[in-house]
Amino acid sequence: MTNLDFLMAGVGGQGTILASNILAEVGLQLGYDVKKAEVHGMAQRGGQVDSHVRWGEKVFSPLVEVNKVDYIIGFEMLEAARFPQFLKEGSTALVNDYRINPPLVNLGKAGYPSKENIESLLLSRAEKVFWVEGTGIAKELGNPAMVGVVMLGALSNLVGGDKEAWLEVIGQMVPQKFVELNKEAFSEGRKVTG
């Protein structure tokens, strides 16, 4: 059983916490010992939200150490760029191709790095960067908050596990009236890395 460490990085309102809960539950369904921890920074006001999820034969700590992350899932471009030091050599980054300007950028006191600069920063440690039109797909389906499920769809092809196991967990964890829509979002995300 291979240990897998994930770091999810987004801002409040993007579904980062729900996505990390689904990822943790899928790990349990696949037979892993799982630990999870979150950091909320003014999440309800669009602040930073980071979630660590660890799958392994035996996991002792919920926090992933620097230089140990196998997969970073960035729900927003700049949020993904905050954590290259956590990536281990040969890791993978999945980044939602979407930007939310921080207040200093909106005030003209700072610049927002280019997509190329963010990719270069991530590739200083990661082996591969996947750009996912997560917000675009979620909006097209009618709910931008489903971006997390789109991102999980893209991730699912890379970490394995039966598609039906993922869909079963999604069915258990999202409100009943949104289950089918979230399953569709997951399937669309799988097309990115499939």
pTM value is 0.92
Mean pLDDT of the chain: 92
CA distances to 66, 72, 176, 182 from 90, rounded to whole Å, are: 14, 12, 38, 30
Q: Which of 176, 175, 155 is nearest to 166 (CA)?
A: 155
pLDDT of 46: 63
Q: Which residues in the chain land under pLDDT 70? A: 40-46
Side chain identity at residue 11, one-letter code: V
Domains of the chain: 4-193 (3.40.920.10)
